[in-house]
Amino acid sequence: MAHLNVGDIAPDFALPSQENETIRLSDFAGKKNVVLYFYPKDFTQGCTAEAKSFRENYRTFEDSNTEVIGVSSDTIETHQRFSQQCGLPFKLLSDSTKKVRELYGANSAFGIAGRVTYVIDTHGIIRFVFSSQLQPTRHVREALDALKAEAARVPSTT
């Protein structure tokens, strides 16, 4: 299980969302940036704060041509309840086998489900990685800052 780094190609995957639709990273290729955040468990204090912070900033992500996607090993049904309770406008994916988490190396140093956020550009290249178990809402700030830095680095063609 290798940890992915800035500059690496983000591995494609296919996982079910809370609406039981299959979402692939490649669905966004050439269209949108993706903030892919792995989190430990629905309904826990830190994960709820993190999800709500992504929700509160979702419009800013949309304005940056970016889709937010959360991933944990919780079931589709649990994701449905969590998404509804938190009013989330983005997809939560169920990685029940933890294979995608392992593919991305998104575990903590202790082997438990880590809290890791990846900013992936429209070409599928990882542009930013942030890992912190104990600062869940900082993931949102860091992702937004990374998107701003990337936008400044790559001039707009519009």
Candidates 47, 116, 129, 143; catalytic one: 47
3-class DSSP assignment, residue 40: coil
Whether 86 sits among the annotated catalytic residues: the reply is no
Distances in Å between the Cα of 107 and the Cα atoms of 123, 136, 146 are: 25, 15, 21
Query: Could you count the other beta carbons within 10 Å of the beta carbon of residue 13?
Result: 18
Token pair of 118 as six digits = 């990846």
Structure tokens at 133: 């178990």
Helices (H) and strands (E) in the chain, counts: 5, 7
Beta strands 14-16 and 66-72, pairing class: unpaired
- Please give the positions annotated as active site: 47
